[in-house]
Amino acid sequence: VGVFGCSYAGSLATWLRYKFPHLVDAAWASSAPLHVTIDYSDYYEVVGHIYANVSRGCAAAIEQGYKEARQLFSTSNSLKRNRAAFEDWRCGNVTDLTADEMLHAMRSIISNQYSRPNHTIRSCEYLESKSVKTSYFKQLADFIVEISGEICSSGEAQSDYVERYQTCTEFGYSLSTSSQNQPFKDSFSAVDDLLESCANDYGEK
C-alpha cells in the first residue's frame, strides 16, 4: 500500500506511514508540514518567497497593499467604509467580519496555491498592472475579489471543517505572522486566536 499527498494531505500520508508501518509500505509527500509547532511562521515566509521568485515588485505590492489594509481597518468607522471594496467577493458577507477576520481572509486568498495553473504568475501580472492613481490596497482588493470565486466555494466547507477540527485537536499549528521575513507584517496573534477559537468550537480540552 502506498499513500501520497500535498500540503495537509502530505502530512497525513507521512504520519500514516510512521504510525502504521505494517499497513503502509511507502509514503510520498510534497510541501507537507512535518515539524508541528503552534507558532507556524514558516508558511507565510514560503508564500513571500514564491511571489518574490516571480517578481520582487509583485511581492512588494502585496506587502504594501496588506499594510494599507491594516491601516484602513484600524478603526470601526474606517473598517466599515473600506471593507466595502470586498462586497462582491465570494467569501461570505463582509459586513459580518471583524478587522482580524478580514485580514485573515485576505492572507488565505493571497496564499492559496491550488486555484489554477500558473497562479502566482497570473497574480503578479494583475498586481503589477496597477495604475499610478490606484492605491495598492485597491489593487489588492480588486485582485482578491476576482479570484475569490475560485477559492471560497461552498463545496469546500465540509473539508475545511474536517481540517480545522484536526488542526485544533491534533496538529495544533497556526499560520502565524510573527516572522519579519514575510509580506503580512502585523501584531495580530494567530496563536492566541487559534487557541481561543478552538476552545470556543470544541472545548478547552
pLDDT, tens only, 101-124: 888 888 888 887 665 667 788 889
Q: Taking the CB of residue 149, how many other CB atoms lie within 10 A of it?
A: 13
Residue 186's closest CA among 78, 83, 79, 106?
106
In the chain, the percentage of residues whose pLDDT exceeds 90 is: 32
Average pLDDT of the chain to the nearest whole number: 84
35-80: pLDDT as tens digits: 777 888 888 998 999 999 999 999 999 999 999 999 999 898 999 8
CB 54 within 8 Å of CB 129: no
95-106: pLDDT as tens digits: 888 888 888 888
Distances (CA, A) of 161 to 6, 15, 152, 194: 18, 20, 13, 14
- Could you give the CA distance from residue 152 to residue 156 in angstroms, rounded to a whole number? 7
Q: What angle do CA 55, 58, 64 make, to 5 degrees?
A: 145
Where do the domains of the chain lie, and which CATH numbers do they carry? 1-34 (no CATH), 35-202 (1.20.120)
Residue 24's closest CA among 46, 7, 1, 50?
1
- Could you give the CA distance from residue 184 to residue 44 in angstroms, rounded to a whole number? 8
Provide the whole-model pTM. Answer: 0.80
- Could you give the CA distance from residue 2 to residue 140 in angstroms, rounded to a whole number? 41
